[in-house]
Chain A
C-alpha cells in the first residue's frame, strides 16, 4: 500500500512518517512553511515534500551549524521553519546556534531531531543522542517535546508550526502503536494519562511509553498490580501540576526515557519531587553513564531494562521495598 497522507495519519507508522505527512498537509495551505535539511531529506522522509514543494525546502548540505543559523535567519523573516537533522548532530554540533541564534534570539525555529536516542542502534554512539534533553533543558526559551505515538506526533507538529517559542521535537524511526483510543487531547506541557491505575505510576516519554504500557499490562496480568502510565511528551515545560497530583497519592513513581539517566526526564521529575517534600519511592530508568552497549535499538532497550520485563522488575522492587 502506498504511504499516502491519509493512511499514514491513521496510526501505527513511524513517527517520522507522520511528521513528513503532516508537514505536507500544512504546506498545502501555508507558503511560509519551510523545511531546512542537512542532506537529511531522505532520512527525514522528506523526499516527497521536496518534490511537491521545491520552493519550500532549503538544503544546506552536511553542515549542521549552518543549518540552524540559516533557519534562524529564515524564521526572523517570518518563515515557519522546520530544521531537520539527526538529533545526535543537531543538538551537539549546532548547540551554540540553538542556544544563541534560536533560543536567545527568539527566532522560533522548530528543531526536529530525527532518529533520536538509540534509533540508529548498531551505528554506535556517534549516532546516538542520549544527551539532548540534558543540554537543551538548561537553555531558556525552548520547548522540548518527545512525542510517543502518531497522534502525539501529528499534534506536536501542528502546534510547533504555530508556536512563537522555539521548539525541539525528537523522535525515532520505528513504527509506533497508537497508545490510547480515549485520550485525545494534546498540548505542550500537559502530560497525557494513557492508562489509569492506582498502585504505581510509570512516567515515560517518546518511544519508551510503549514498553511502559506493556510493563503495566504485565504487572496487572501476573501480579494484580494497578499501574498508571503517563506520556510525558513535553520534557520542558514539565507538567508539574500532573506530577504533583500523582505524587500526592504517595505511591511509587518510575520514569523511563531513551536518554542518559543524567539530566533528562527522570532528574527533572526528581528535582521537582525533592524540592516539594515528596518522598515517594522513585526510580529512573534510562541509559546509564557508560560506553553504551552495542546492538539494535531493541537490544539496547532490553539490555538496560527499557522494556516490558525491565520496567516490571523495577516496579515490583519498588512495591516490595514499600511494604
Chain B
C-alpha cells in the first residue's frame, strides 16, 4: 500500500475509533489516536498475517502490550477482514467479546493483555520459540511509555538481548502522557534509548505519525543482527483532533455530541491529510 493510501487509511481509522468509542460511551481515546498510525503500517505493510490462515505457525505475531488502546486494534483488524466491522457495534456491551482489552476470543488477537508489563515477556517467549524451531516469523509488540516502569519489561528486555532475539521488535508509543500526568513527572524513564542500548538492544527513533518513517524503520528490522530492535515512536496523545492533542483528560475521555461532531468534521477530508 502506498504512503498516500496508508495516510487515507489513518484518517478513516481515526474516524472509526471515535465513532465506536462515542457509541459505546467508553474507550481509551487519546492512546488509540496516538498508536493508530503504527498499527496501520504494521497491519497494512509489515506483518505477514492473513485472516484466513491466522493459525499458521509461520505468521508474524503482533502482541499489544498496551492493551487499553484496543479500539485502535479493533478497527485495523476489522479493516483487514478478521471480522465484520459491524461487530464493533457491540463494543463493551453485555456478553460481547469486544471488551476494553484484547482477548483471543476476537479473531486476529494474539494474546490476552490489559495488565501492563505483560506483552514484552510473552513476546520474548514467542520469539525464543521461533528461534528454537528455526522459523522465520517475527514478533512485534507495542508498549506504552506509561507502562515502562513495570519491572517485568526490564526483566524481559534482559532476556531478549541475552538470547539475541533479532526476530523481536518492540515499538514504544511515546506520547509522554499517562493518567496522572506527564510520564516525566510520574516516573521519568528517559533516556529510554540509552537504557535500551545499555540492555543490548538496537534502538531507532521515528515520528510515530509519519507513515514513511514508520515504514522505513519497520522494513529495517532487525536493525542489527543478533540484537532485538526497539523503535521509539514519538507520538501525540489524541493526535488528529485539535482539542484532544496532548490533553490529559482524553486518556479515556468520551466526546459529547458537539465534541463528536467537531472531531468528525476535522477528519472529514482524508485528502487534506496527504
Report whether B158 and A73 are in contact in the complex, using a CB–CB cutoff of 8 Å: no
A-B contact pairs, 29 of them (CB 8 A): A34-B129, A60-B155, A60-B159, A61-B155, A61-B158, A61-B162, A65-B121, A66-B124, A66-B158, A69-B120, A70-B121, A70-B128, A72-B111, A72-B122, A73-B124, A75-B125, A76-B110, A77-B57, A77-B125, A78-B133, A79-B132, A97-B118, A97-B121, A100-B112, A100-B114, A101-B112, A101-B118, A105-B111, A105-B112
B151 is an interface residue with CB less than 8 A from chain A: yes
Report whether B118 and A70 are in contact in the complex, using a CB–CB cutoff of 8 Å: no
Closest Cβ neighbor of B133 among chain A residues: A77
Report whether B151 and A76 are in contact in the complex, using a CB–CB cutoff of 8 Å: no
Minimum C-beta distance from A41 to chain B (A): 15
Report whether A65 and B126 are in contact in the complex, using a CB–CB cutoff of 8 Å: no
Closest Cβ neighbor of B119 among chain A residues: A69
Residues of A within 8 A of B113 (CB): 100
Residues of B within 8 A of A104 (CB): 112
Q: How far is the CA of A106 from the CA of B105 in the complex (A)?
A: 11
A74 is an interface residue with CB less than 8 A from chain B: yes
Number of A-B contacts (CB under 8 A): 101
Complex interface residues of chain B between 120 and 145 (CB less than 8 A to chain A): 120-130, 132-133
Report whether A66 and B152 are in contact in the complex, using a CB–CB cutoff of 8 Å: yes
B195 is an interface residue with CB less than 8 A from chain A: no
Given contacts A60-B159, A69-B152, A73-B127, contact A96 B57 (CB under 8 A): no
Main secondary structure of the interface of A (DSSP, over half): helix
Complex interface residues of chain B between 201 and 236 (CB less than 8 A to chain A): none
A71 is an interface residue with CB less than 8 A from chain B: yes
Complex interface residues of chain A between 11 and 49 (CB less than 8 A to chain B): 34
The 5 closest A-B pairs by CB, nearest first: A73-B125, A69-B121, A77-B129, A66-B155, A70-B125
Main secondary structure of the interface of B (DSSP, over half): helix
Report whether A101 and B121 are in contact in the complex, using a CB–CB cutoff of 8 Å: yes
Pick from A34, A74, A96 the residue with the most CB of B within 10 Å. A74
How many residues of chain B get a CB closer than 8 Å to chain A's CBs?
31
Report whether B126 and A74 are in contact in the complex, using a CB–CB cutoff of 8 Å: yes
Report whether A74 and B125 are in contact in the complex, using a CB–CB cutoff of 8 Å: yes
Residues of B within 8 A of A78 (CB): 57, 129, 133
Minimum C-beta distance from B271 to chain A (A): 41
How many residues of chain A get a CB closer than 8 Å to chain B's CBs?
28
B156 is an interface residue with CB less than 8 A from chain A: yes
Q: How far is the CA of A105 from the CA of B114 in the complex (A)?
A: 11
Report whether B130 and A77 are in contact in the complex, using a CB–CB cutoff of 8 Å: yes
Minimum C-beta distance from B113 to chain A (A): 8
Q: Mark A56-90, 1 if CB is under 8 A from B, else 0.
A: 10101101011011111111111100000000000
Report whether A106 and B159 are in contact in the complex, using a CB–CB cutoff of 8 Å: no
Pick from A73, A75, A77, A104 the residue with the most CB of B within 10 Å. A73
Report whether A69 and B124 are in contact in the complex, using a CB–CB cutoff of 8 Å: yes
Closest Cβ neighbor of B129 among chain A residues: A77
B93 is an interface residue with CB less than 8 A from chain A: no
Report whether B115 and A100 are in contact in the complex, using a CB–CB cutoff of 8 Å: yes
Residues of B within 8 A of A76 (CB): 110-111, 122, 125-126, 129
B194 is an interface residue with CB less than 8 A from chain A: no
Q: How far is the CA of A61 from the CA of B114 in the complex (A)?
A: 25
Minimum C-beta distance from B13 to chain A (A): 26
A55 is an interface residue with CB less than 8 A from chain B: yes
Q: How far is the CA of A34 from the CA of B132 in the complex (A)?
A: 10
A70 CB contact (under 8 Å) in B115, B117, B122, B130: B122
Pick from B130, B152, B156, B162 the residue with the most CB of A within 10 Å. B152
Closest Cβ neighbor of B101 among chain A residues: A100
Report whether A101 and B122 are in contact in the complex, using a CB–CB cutoff of 8 Å: yes
Closest Cβ neighbor of B117 among chain A residues: A65
Minimum C-beta distance from B246 to chain A (A): 31
Report whether B104 and A70 are in contact in the complex, using a CB–CB cutoff of 8 Å: no
Residues of A within 8 A of B162 (CB): 61
Residues of B within 8 A of A34 (CB): 129, 132
B126 CB contact (under 8 Å) in A61, A73, A100: A73
Q: How far is the CA of A304 from the CA of B21 in the complex (A)?
A: 57
Closest Cβ neighbor of B150 among chain A residues: A65
Report whether B104 and A69 are in contact in the complex, using a CB–CB cutoff of 8 Å: no
Q: How far is the CA of A68 from the CA of B120 in the complex (A)?
A: 12
Minimum C-beta distance from B164 to chain A (A): 13
Given contacts A65-B152, A78-B57, 9 further A-B contacts (CB under 8 A): A34-B132, A65-B155, A66-B155, A70-B125, A73-B124, A73-B127, A76-B126, A97-B118, A105-B111
Residues of B within 8 A of A105 (CB): 104, 111-112
